Amino acid sequence: MAAAQTRLDIAAENLSNLSSAGYKRREAFGSLSASGASVVGRVSGGRIDAVSEMIAVLGAQRAFEGAGKVVSAIDQTRQHAAEAARVR
């Protein structure tokens, strides 16, 4: 969820600075390891395209929603396991 939030923050920053002189576009770069996913923003210096940034916002939103569903599924599994342990 933190990775999705970082992606969203970077895209929002790019959109808010769309017409700022001298602003350099940041891109989200991610990595996946055993400890989880991480995303960092790096200056790319490229031109800011509003449509591409909005697509990035939508992608981050979907990733956040997906992570929320995973957390809910884990919580439900833990609840079922706790209930099963109490029955015994």
**Concatenated DSSP letters for 63-88?**
HHHHHHHHHHHHHHHHHHHHHHHHH-
Is the pTM above the cut of 0.75? no
Of residues 60, 67, 68, the one with CA closest to residue 4: 60
pLDDT of residue 69: 92
Listed by start position, the domains of the chain span 2-87
Cross-strand pairs, 38: 31
pLDDT of residue 88: 63
User: Do 14 and 25 meet the contact criterion of CB atoms below 8 Å apart?
Assistant: yes
Cα dihedral sign for 35, 39, 42, 44?
A: positive
Q: Which residues of the chain have pLDDT under 70?
A: 32, 37-38, 45, 88
CA 74 – CA 76 distance, rounded (Å) = 5
pLDDT of residue 72: 93
pLDDT of residue 74: 93
